[in-house]
Structure 1
Amino acid sequence: MAAAATTPAGIQTLLDAQQQAFNREGAVSADTRKARIQQVIDLLVDHCDALADAMGRDFGEGADGGRPRAFSIMNDILGSLGSLKHARDHLEAWMAPDQRTPFPPYDQLGGEAQVLHQPKGSVGIIGTWNAPLFTLFSPLACALGAGNRAILKPSEVVPETAALVAELVTTHLDPEVVAVATGDAEIGAAFAGSAFDHLVFTGSTAVGRKIMQAAAQNLVPVTLELGGKSPVILGKDADVAESCRRLAIAKGTNGGQICISPDILYVPEAALEQVISEFTQQFRALYPSVEGNPDLVAAVNASHLARVEACLDDARERGVRLVSTHPESTGATRKRPVRLVINPPAESRIMQEEIFGSALIVKTYSAIEDVIADIQSRSRPLALYYFGQDRAEEQKVLSHTLSGGVTLNDIMMHAAMHEAPFGGVGGSGMGHYHGYEGFLEFSHARTVFRAPEYDPRGEWGMLPPHHDQFEAMMRAQVTRD
């Protein structure tokens, strides 16, 4: 029972044990929830360096790995700790019953009503490779804060990290509270098809559809954190230099391998060459070189790199203009400069797929309405970004587009907020985690009505046998007021 599950039968054994323990336990006190969250916090703090090293090895290449230790600590360790500590420090207020007003006349007769936010049971959490700890432990914070138990499924694309997470969790945590399942796509499919009380998946839209289909067989509610082609709009009065600086910071983060990384940059036609020049300069200031640069994150593996390069090759074959921030790599490593793809046709591969790597589409426009129409023509993105000081134009963009979240005059900042929900819409997902909304996501809102001692329905002629005027009494209440 203490080992991580590596087979469908093992997953079922862990799930049965957790659900049985949940049923035995009953109400989960705030102190118990805090203690469970604190155990996860302690695990991450105590093994921070080992986990960062594992992530670096998974991204490969050289003694320092393909991802800087500092970035792994910042993105995955500190990001997870922020979610866990926020839940720990706020869950008592979240747990308070939500008092509601009973319907009349019971509100005058002593009736009482409230909504209790109760845990669902065992939550399955499927993480992804680009943020291998954060996509496990950030939703876990909300799940434990809501009083649930959980089984984690790390991505098989990062096997070193997955193995270490399994070892640490099974060694330091009670498997009836938090457990781990590891394995390939076959194990992932069995995990998604298990009868959890809630299922969380972070990953691609294509896989998200399969996850939802599998969960539907057991009527398991799902939270899907997907992606899409998140747009950046440079308004006509935007500060080009500062906008490109912030865009370069975002596009370099994790080598572009982030679900809210920008995919498409819309720029006014007259500003195209200035934007290309400014972005290139800003990115080179952050990353003066590519190969051997310890600050630049590599593509996670050869197949993911090949997919991005195939998208770029397709654009070249179509005669699309490409501009690289640096001389093209010799291919000795998986680190790449950002390639700007200027005005590719709609049918090109890079316009059809989420990039998730070191490339950025740049599209020119003459009217903001054209930008909005182009965004509306595709699936809802996980994030949208707008740079500019024209509040009327900003409001037009916000009111005529729909995305999971928005950052104005910067990129990716909204996802760092613990006090606001993070989630997608349409093709970019459903449901939320982070903060109070995450607590609600993993809770069952249970209405409880306490009836008064006095029941007047018989005196009012509301009970059988009905008198001749009963229908007239009912009909008289059908009004527009």
Structure 2
Amino acid sequence: MNTPTNTAIDAEGALRQMLDQQRSAYQADPVPDYAQRIEDLRALSRMIRDHQDAMVQAISDDYGNRSKIESLFCEVFVVLDGIKDTIKHLKKWMKPQRRHVSLTSYPTSRNRVIPQPLGVVGVIVPWNFPVNLTFAPLTSIFAAGNRAMVKMSENSQNLSELLQRISGDYFPAEKLIFIPDSGGVGPLFSALPLDHLIFTGSSATGRAVMRSAAENLTPVTLELGGKSPAIVAPDFDLDTAAERILFWKLLNAGQICTTVDYLFLPEGSADAFVEKSKALVQRRYPDLQSEDYTSVIDDQSYQRLWDTLDDAVAKGATAVDLSDGQGKRDDKLRKFPPHILLNVTDDMAVMQREIFGPLLPVKTYREHQEVLDYVNAGPRPLSTYPFTNDRAITDLYIERMMSGGVTVNNCVLHVAQHDIPFGGVGDSGMGHYHGYEGFITFSKLRPIFHQGPLDPIKLLMPPYGKTARKILDVMIGMTK
């Protein structure tokens, strides 16, 4: 039997104390009004704006090098724009909803559904987009009137220290607290009796989080990964496809859960796509050692990518270094050269698990059914990316191939839309957030029935007789 260490006991006690503090504050003020929620959202915005440069630098320090443009675009802008959109719509979202009253309560009763805060929400943040995946959930959590405990990744030490240091200037600890991952904190955090828990990360860790949360019946939102395919149809311009796919595939050095994990091309077009990709990469990244090209997050991930590449080549894949000879190893900077892999097979590691790096396996096809059969035989992906100008082909892939979300004729951009939900399905996750769906996810839609002065149910109260039976016969007849 394993005996918990004193460190683990101390960490668990500290987490419980934080939760108790937030829950007490929630019970004292369970439903913040519109003005308070708007102020919380504006404070989130100020927190980012006031420390924008420091956050961007902290992320880069955690990576070894992270493109500042990518951080500003994917982290700062997207979150601030999401907060602005939420502030614009929050009053409408908070309004009680009138609902139809059933026959048995007609005509003087009424129904309402009121969205109310759940209480204390836990957020488990990954390292790949640590500002975005901290503040986007917090936007929905605070819009719904909740409090939040945020556990940062062990790979985000610099950012975590910054957020712990500055958060008190904007929020009291009973509203928002940041928790560093000092080793072993993750399982303890997911085992807390929270009112909701949102986790972003791998499918394997997501299963562990869900098991821990189940002990307390804590509802979970899981945003996981998976092997998201892009499919270029024969009618779509190959130059445009390469331009868009390579941008998103190499953004953040491919360390994005929604990026293109592998690519389907029409038979006979692979060589042309490779040549176009080489030209694009060498124009966009003439020097992989520059700040424009992001490092792989840590030594373990960097070595895993080399092992994945070596495994594919050993099993018959053709590896094409798109960087034109810049592919020498640089273990210090961890700049992994972008590669296309041709002639891939399913026994290769690159086709068995999420890549999370700048490797792009390419498969070719003749008929659309080949693509459908292949994708549908595996776990449901987080995203799919059909490239076609043919509406019938678009509809075919949307209707016959299930995924968490879809961007047509580009990649990833469905995630940045504030008025549509983001979330996975099956192995790629459960639940949604962003925009209105985020507000709903972190709210309890509380149904409230108001009995009017007339109570038709009295006619059905015992002792039962012929009158009750006649009334029920009429009621049942009205359901036809």
TM-score, normalising length: structure 2: 0.94
Q: Distance in 1 between matches of 2:60 and 2:105?
A: 62
1:41 deviation in Å? 1.1
Please say if 1:305 is aligned against 2:309. no
Of 4, 7, 17, 1:13 maps to 17
Q: Distance in 2 between matches of 1:90 and 1:224?
A: 25
Conserved? CA contact 1:380–1:403, under 8 Å? yes
1:211 deviation in Å? 0.6
Conserved? CA contact 2:242–2:273, under 8 Å? yes
Q: Distance in 1 between matches of 2:79 and 2:457?
A: 54
Q: Please name the residue that 2:83 is paired with.
A: 84
Conserved? CA contact 1:247–1:279, under 8 Å? no
Q: 1:82-161, aligned counterparts within 5 Å?
A: 82-107=81-106, 109-161=107-159
Q: Distance in 2 between matches of 1:135 and 1:360?
A: 25
Moved over 3 A (4+): 468-480
Of 242, 251, 254, 2:252 maps to 254
Q: Which amino acid aligns with 2:372?
A: I
Q: Please name the residue that 2:402 is paired with.
A: 402
RMSD: 1.6
1:69-116, Cα deviation, whole Å (9 max, x unpaired): 222122222222222222222211100011101101533x21111100
1:148 deviation in Å? 0.3
SS at match of 1:408: coil
Please say if 1:274 is aligned against 2:250. no
1:6 deviation in Å? 8.5
Q: Which amino acid aligns with 1:463?
A: M
1:172 deviation in Å? 3.4
Q: Which amino acid aligns with 1:96?
A: K
| Structure 2 gap ranges (5+) | 1-8
Of 13, 31, 37, 1:33 maps to 37
Q: Which amino acid aligns with 2:165?
A: E
Aligned residues: 468
1:248-289, Cα deviation, whole Å (9 max, x unpaired): 111121110111110110001121111111122222221122
Q: Distance in 1 between matches of 2:89 and 2:318?
A: 51
Q: Distance in 2 between matches of 1:443 and 1:338?
A: 43
Of 162, 167, 170, 1:169 maps to 167
Conserved? CA contact 2:30–2:119, under 8 Å? no
Q: Please name the residue that 1:283 is paired with.
A: 281
Q: Which amino acid aligns with 1:158?
A: S
Q: Please name the residue that 1:334 is paired with.
A: 334
Q: Please name the residue that 2:213 is paired with.
A: 215
Conserved? CA contact 1:76–1:131, under 8 Å? yes
Q: Distance in 1 between matches of 2:309 and 2:470?
A: 73
1:475 deviation in Å? 5.1
Q: Distance in 2 between matches of 1:476 and 1:399?
A: 42
Q: Distance in 2 between matches of 1:344 and 1:476?
A: 67
Q: Please name the residue that 2:26 is paired with.
A: 22
1:298-325, Cα deviation, whole Å (9 max, x unpaired): 1011111111111111111112111110
Q: Please name the residue that 2:363 is paired with.
A: 363
| Structure 1 gap ranges (5+) | 61-65
Please say if 1:320 is aligned against 2:317. yes
SS at match of 2:148: strand
Q: Please name the residue that 1:63 is paired with.
A: none
SS at match of 2:103: coil
Cα distance, 1:6–1:271 mapped onto 2, change above 3 Å? farther
1:473 deviation in Å? 4.9
Q: Which amino acid aligns with 2:464?
A: H
Q: Distance in 1 between matches of 2:471 and 2:55?
A: 70
Conserved? CA contact 2:317–2:341, under 8 Å? yes
Identity %: 33
Conserved? CA contact 1:245–1:283, under 8 Å? no
After superposing the two structures, state which structure 1 stretch, 80-89 or 414-423, moved more. Answer: 80-89
SS at match of 1:274: helix
1:341 deviation in Å? 1.3
1:205-251, Cα deviation, whole Å (9 max, x unpaired): 11000011110000001011111001000001110001100011111
Conserved? CA contact 1:34–1:88, under 8 Å? yes
Conserved? CA contact 2:104–2:456, under 8 Å? no
Q: Please name the residue that 1:242 is paired with.
A: 240
Q: Distance in 2 between matches of 1:101 and 1:269?
A: 55
1:433 deviation in Å? 1.1
Conserved? CA contact 2:105–2:455, under 8 Å? no
SS at match of 2:303: helix
SS at match of 1:330: coil
